[in-house]
Amino acid sequence: MGQISINKSPGMSALVGRRGGRKKVFTAEVITAIPVWVEDGMSIIEIAEALDVTPGSLRARCSQLGISLRSAGGNQKVLVRRLGNARWTEVQKQSLRRRISPMQLVARVMAAAVDGALFNAILDDDMGDQ
């Protein structure tokens, strides 16, 4: 059996196998993970870079496998519109520093706000006390 190594790409631990000197990128684990990454807000380019393949190769292989590379809700586009470009740029910078997708960062921030009951502090109002 071929050598297995961990792809140390931002925010993921995709398994990459080797057989006969050729890199096998689209392992069962990766094929299962791709739809999750798409729903987490990763772009085709981000996924391709993480797997060390071209976006065209990723599109072609996903097409062969029947995997959609389109997010069902378009959540990222909605966030960009509501936050504005300057705020979204900051979200992107912070997500790169943490090596996670922007949508994963937004989810983590929201979870921290909910878990810490921080709505009043963040929004600087007392609406939650009513």
pLDDT tens for 4-59 read 333 444 444 444 445 555 678 899 999 998 988 887 778 889 899 989 999 999 99
- Nearest by Cα to 74 from 98, 107, 38, 45: 38
| Predicted pLDDT at 71 | 72
Q: How far apart are CA 93 and CA 102, in angstroms?
A: 9
Phi, psi of 22 (to 5 degrees): -95, 140
Q: Please say whether the beta carbons of 99 and 10 come within 8 A.
A: yes
Residues linked to residue 4 through DSSP beta bridges, in sequence order: 17
> DSSP per residue over 41-62, as a string?
T--HHHHHHHHTS-HHHHHHHH
Q: Which residue has the higher pLDDT, 107 or 16?
A: 107
| Predicted pLDDT at 100 | 84
| Predicted pLDDT at 2 | 39
Q: How many helices (H) and strands (E) does the chain have?
A: 7, 3
Q: Where are the domains of the chain?
A: 1-72, 73-130
Average pLDDT over the chain, rounded to whole? 78
Q: Please say whether the beta carbons of 36 and 13 come within 8 A.
A: no
pLDDT tens for 88-99 read 889 889 988 998
| Predicted pLDDT at 56 | 95
Q: Which residue has the higher pLDDT, 120 or 126?
A: 120
| Predicted pLDDT at 126 | 67
Which pLDDT band, with edges at 50, 70 and 90, does 75 fall under? low
